A and B are shown apart, each in its own frame.
Chain A
Amino acid sequence: GAVVSQHPSRVICKSGTSVKIECRSLDFQATTMFWYRQFPKQSLMLMATSNEGSKATYEQGVEKDKFLINHASLTLSTLTVTSAHPEDSSFYICSARDSGSTDTQYFGPGTRLTVL
């Protein structure tokens, strides 16, 4: 399958700081990427759809001013968690849509965010 990278894999930050997470599709171009959040022993919750060259589409209940998404190129989307608080601690996973024959989403390895 296609390869998607995510950086950093793990980050610990102080409450009130901002954290940027990068998601890259390494061997295909992705006009659409997705950001998910997963709490322990729960399934993936879609936060937003990131569209190259346009504004992201956020799911209901997700604060767009707190979770800033930028999709500046066909291979890179970034998620910035602004003014992070301990309740934002979670596993953040991106996926990139490979619009080929199966139109499949491939996931990055995830970023474990811990806010102290």
Chain B
Amino acid sequence: GQNIDQPTEMTATEGAIVQINCTYQTSGFNGLFWYQQHAGEAPTFLSYNVLDGLEEKGRFSSFLSRSKGYSYLLLKELQMKDSASYLCALRGSGNTGKLIFGQGTTLQVKP
């Protein structure tokens, strides 16, 4: 089976940096994804890690350590529009490609 754990809520200040952690247990691993979801909207793809290390994409970076079952999403230069839920999702081994989502972390950015 698979298990994913993220903090439920976080608060940060506009302009700051925030790190959202995700830990997981899985019997098979084929990639870890981060999605952003604003209230009432569908998730949008942010990043994908399948190998250990840091992937940087503008203000967003994602890190993966497969041996530790750990990932984080780093958001720099926070903006008010970054207030959203951030979902960590795991793709297991096998060919289905299905993703299992964590509960999500609701980030509130304050002025």
Contact = CB atoms under 8 A, between A and B. Distances in A.
Interface stretch (B20-28, B40-48, B61-69, B75-83): B40-48
Contact of B101 (A44, A91, A112): A44
B98 A46 contact: yes
B39 to A, nearest CB: 9
B96 A49 contact: yes
Given A109-B41, A110-B41, A103 B104 contact: no
A43 B101 contact: yes
Contacts, number: 53
B99 interface: yes
A42 interface: yes
A109 B31 contact: no
A67 interface: no
A108 B42 contact: yes
Interface in A23-65: 32, 34, 42-46, 49, 57
Interface in B1-49: 31, 33, 35, 40-45, 48
A114 interface: no
Q: Majority SS of interface residues in chain A?
A: strand
Given A43-B101, A102-B48, A105-B97, A110 B42 contact: yes
A74 B91 CA distance: 22
Nearest to B91: A103
A93 interface: yes
Interface in B55-110: 87, 91, 96-104
Contact of B102 (A34, A43, A95, A97): A43
A99 B31 CA distance: 13
Contacts of B91: 103
Contacts of B43: 44, 93, 107
Contacts of B99: 34, 46, 95, 105
Contacts of B102: 43
A17 interface: no
Given A34-B99, A99-B97, A102-B48, 8 more contacts: A1-B44, A1-B45, A32-B96, A43-B101, A103-B31, A105-B33, A107-B35, A107-B43
